[in-house]
Amino acid sequence: MHKSTPPPVEKRRKLRPIVLSAALALLLLIGVGGWHWWQNRATFTTPAPASSSEPIPGPVLKPLTGAAVPTGSTLKEQLEPLVVGTVLGKNVSVSVVDLRSGKVLYERDPTNTVIPASNTKLVTAAAVLATRGAAYRITTTAVAGANPGEVVLVGAGDATLAVDGEGFYAGAARLDQLAEQIKKSLGTTKPTKVIVDGSLYSGPVLGPAWEANANEEGYTSKITALMIDGAREDPKDQETPFDRYSDPELAAGQALAKLLGVPNSAVSRGTAPAASGTAAPSASAPIAPGAQLGAVKSAPMLRQLEQMLGHSDNTLAEALARQVALAKGKPASFEGAAEAVEQVLTELGLPVGQFDLADGAGYSTQNQLSPNVLTGLMTRAADGKHAGLADLFNLLPVAGWSGSLDYRFAKPEAASGLGVVRAKSGTLQKVNSISGVVQTADGGLLAFAVLAENVPTWQYPAQDALDRIVAKIASCGCS
């Protein structure tokens, strides 16, 4: 059931990454690489020496085959003191599952549905992989308007669209390349007007229970079908919160207009005419309204999901959730995306009644998930029966190394999680969570989800407490 009076979203700042030595970082990265571990029965061996002048590293991971199945009683003894009676408060729900056997090793209120914060992005990512697939690309097009010289920029939901090669997102489609295609298609006809068509999306541009000025706060933007750089005004700025365009669609249209030599005053909203002819110009057959003038493709879904999860990108998460809605034939809106993602969860056999979504990013306090749903997703990604989900592990940030976990697990009591934990964290006011996978000291591979609600302490002590729980799972000699 949705909360009737949601708490406000906590204002977060990104901490600087912890500094690791190059040698340690390399070992840690190798130690978590290649998470097709179980499906392919991978065995990690000692690398061959590169040269006599370089140190030869020893084995990084023990072979997964042959490792004993952990015992739940041992893990419970080690985790209970870190879960019960701590700064996380009384409402802590936990699920820990062995990914090889599917055996539940530890749980505490695992069916309890709570606000998951950005752990919602895990669900969104899984739904995208299950529907669009890892290789799918979003195509942004420009078509001829109703009158000669008019160019209609049609939004296809690509939040990563860039103006040029200096965009915020790696591998993004570019307006400068689209502009060159448009000029070539128009031939001798001079561009006179740019019309932006954002009609693919419907409904509100801010999500349920979002703050009315959420886009001004900078942790997300208005969610529109057409934008550049996730609606960031400065794509070179890498620190949250970001300055966002108040009108992302017009900003994108103005960027294209500048490339075409069209003034901002000639940029307006509209709808693309229905295609009725060819874009090839000739003296006897002018360009027909609706004819395609150019098209550019986004980076594959896999790359976009990596960026979304790595940096907990709320705007990108909402855009990707709408791709699930489109794949399922539902409206590209907050409601349509939530329904589509829930449909995917049901199709995957996850427990109905333990998820209730309002957005794709977890920015809304109306989202509800149980730990069972999150570890259930991990189990399905590992079981070899859901091939499209296997990439989920490779997308997750690595503790102490990348993305939103680059500064986590920094304290000595959590250091055993460095490099062997891949997870998504989540933070809202009085809500702290973390879910993912971890390789234990004795070679086990476990999925975990820890969701805490009504947390009585500040964000960072709560995060430290979560890190200690997950680090204890990593160091557990549970076999």
Report the amino acid identity of residue 324: V
Q: For residues 270 and 194, give the distance between their C-alpha atoms in angstroms, rounded to a whole number.
A: 9
Of 281, 299, 317, the position where a domain reaches its end is 299
DSSP state, 398? Answer: B
- The answer to whether residues 361 and 234 belong to one domain is no
**Using an 8 Å Cβ cutoff, are 371 and 450 in contact?**
yes
62: which 2 tokens? 């023990």
Q: For residues 49 and 45, give the distance between their C-alpha atoms in angstroms, rounded to a whole number.
A: 12
- The answer to whether residues 45 and 190 belong to one domain is no
- The answer to whether residues 260 and 114 belong to one domain is no
Q: For residues 289 and 278, give the distance between their C-alpha atoms in angstroms, rounded to a whole number.
A: 9
- The answer to whether residues 46 and 161 belong to one domain is no
Q: For residues 74 and 188, give the distance between their C-alpha atoms in angstroms, rounded to a whole number.
A: 76
Q: Is residue 326 part of a domain?
A: no
In order of 26, 72, 116, 457, the CA distances from 451 in angstroms are: 31, 19, 6, 15
Q: Report the chain (479 residues): mean pLDDT per 10 consecutive residues.
A: 40 38 38 38 36 43 49 85 97 96 95 98 98 98 97 98 97 98 97 98 97 94 98 94 97 98 98 73 74 98 97 97 98 98 98 97 98 97 92 95 94 95 97 96 92 96 98 84
Say whether 104 sits in a helix, a strand or coil: strand
Q: Is residue 319 part of a domain?
A: no
Strands 150-154 and 193-197: what pairing? parallel
Q: Is residue 348 part of a domain?
A: yes
Number of separate domains in the chain: 2
- The answer to whether residues 189 and 254 belong to one domain is yes
Q: For residues 16 and 100, give the distance between their C-alpha atoms in angstroms, rounded to a whole number.
A: 36
- The answer to whether residues 206 and 256 belong to one domain is yes
Instruction: Supply the CATH number for residue 453's domain.
Output: 3.40.710.10
- The answer to whether residues 373 and 415 belong to one domain is yes
User: Quick one: pLDDT at residue 443?
Assistant: 84
Q: How many CB atoms lie within 10 A of CB 253?
A: 31
Q: Could you tell me which of 463, 461, 459 has the C-alpha nearest to residue 450?
A: 463
Q: Is residue 311 part of a domain?
A: no
Which residues in 85-233 belong to E strands, given as ranges? 91-98, 104-108, 139-144, 150-154, 193-197
- The answer to whether residues 159 and 102 belong to one domain is no
Q: Is residue 245 part of a domain?
A: yes
Half-sphere exposure of residue 296, counting CA atoms within 13 Å on the CB side?
26
Q: Is residue 304 part of a domain?
A: no
445: which 2 tokens? 């591979």
Q: For residues 203 and 383, give the distance between their C-alpha atoms in angstroms, rounded to a whole number.
A: 38
- The answer to whether residues 157 and 179 belong to one domain is yes
Q: Is residue 312 part of a domain?
A: no
Of 299, 321, 353, the position where a domain reaches its end is 299
User: Quick one: pLDDT at residue 73?
Assistant: 77
Q: Apex CA 217: angle with CA 409 and CA 310, to 5°?
A: 35
- The answer to whether residues 279 and 173 belong to one domain is yes
Say whether 396 sits in a helix, a strand or coil: coil
Domain assignment of residue 269, given as a range: 139-299
Q: For residues 419 and 409, give the distance between their C-alpha atoms in angstroms, rounded to a whole number.
A: 9
Handedness of CA 466, 471, 473, 474 (dihedral sign): positive
Active site residues: 118, 121, 312
Of 251, 282, 299, the position where a domain reaches its end is 299
303: which 2 tokens? 């790359």
- The answer to whether residues 85 and 165 belong to one domain is no
DSSP 193-243: EEEEE-TTB-S-SS-TT--TTHHHHTSS----SB-SGGGBS-TT--SSS--
- The answer to whether residues 359 and 251 belong to one domain is no
Q: Is residue 321 part of a domain?
A: no
Handedness of CA 79, 352, 125, 315 (dihedral sign): negative
**Using an 8 Å Cβ cutoff, are 89 and 455 in contact?**
yes
Residue that is written with structure tokens 């103005």 in the block: 254
Which residues in 396-473 belong to E strands, given as ranges? 421-428, 431-439, 445-453
Q: Apex CA 50: angle with CA 48 and CA 54, to 5°?
A: 115
pTM: 0.85
Q: For residues 188 and 177, give the distance between their C-alpha atoms in angstroms, rounded to a whole number.
A: 19
